[in-house]
Amino acid sequence: MLDLVLIEQAAELLRHGKLVAFPTETVYGIGANALDEAAVRRIFEVKGRPSTSPLIVHVDSLEMARRVVAVWPTAAEILARRFWPGPLTLVLPKQPTVPDVVTAGLPTVGVRAPAHPVALELIRRSGVPVAAPSANRFTELSPTTAEHVRRSLGGSVDLILDGGPAQVGIESTVLSLAGAQPVLLRPGMVSPAQIEELIGPVTLGGRIEDQSASAHASPGLHRRHYSPRTPLLLVSNGALPERGRGAYLWLRHRAQAQRSIAMPADAAAYAAALYGLLHQLDEEGWDWIAVEAPPSDGEWLAVSDRLRRAASEP
């Protein structure tokens, strides 16, 4: 049930340049008025996020999206009508009213309508588009509950809206429509195959980036990202570390570990469970978390991407 009084309070805070953490169907976000440069800069300060990593702007409707972007091609209309509200971000040329801090100085902006009633009501009541990355310290594990936000950011935000656990569990698909060819910048639970059914071929981009001075085309492209505090190791065939006490998340190959967890065989269910489990294992204090590497293509593309980045060396 929506607490409309609390949501109205949160909307008022956004209008006055404050930061609000709120639930979406993917992960929890830390939001500011996307048209307020000073407020957006506070997001970067609170998260410790580099200015080279752009933010996604959240809207409540196609009409609000069109006020943020300068071009709205047919492909955007088709995809938004099919997948919004939902976990698909579209990257398009931005309007001049969108501050450069939001887009890391790029001429494009990522925009999406989140499929969560609290998020949509917050945006609607605030009357402004909301720039929001995940509500955690930069490169750390994304939050899927309000409690995860409290542990990570504490009192650094002005209000936390609790909308229960995130249902999708990992960040949105990011698709660029800014060029002649659609480019998948970050995989998510809206798959390339689903997109191609509607608009034709999609190029796979989103390579792992270093933390250079140049702007990244999408959030979530740093080499190390989505990482628990506990070292995370990708393993195959149940080959676990010989030293230390650890937990093991497995799909096909069971092995003896102090904590062994069978993961869902369905990619969507796996994604929904993953971050919550990693947060829990972090709290349990293991020496390592070993994860059996999932398939790296098809419906598993997004899960594989998140785990590869979580296990990368800094």
Mind listing the pLDDT tens digit for each residue in 238-290?
999 999 999 999 999 999 999 999 999 999 999 999 999 999 999 999 999 99
**pLDDT reported for residue 217:** 72
For the chain, what percent of residues have pLDDT higher than 70? 93
Is it the case that residue 314 has pLDDT exceeding 70? no
Could you tell me the domains of the chain? 4-204 (3.90.870.10), 232-311 (no CATH)
Q: Assign residue 21 a region (left: φ > 0; alpha: ψ between -120 and 50; beta: otherwise).
A: beta
Tell me the backbone φ, ψ of residue 182, rounded to 5 degrees. -60, 135
Q: How confident is the model at residue 218 (pLDDT cuts 50, 70, 90)?
A: low
Mind listing the pLDDT tens digit for each residue in 130-158?
999 999 999 899 999 999 999 999 889 99
Mean pLDDT of the residues in the chain: 93
**pLDDT reported for residue 212:** 52
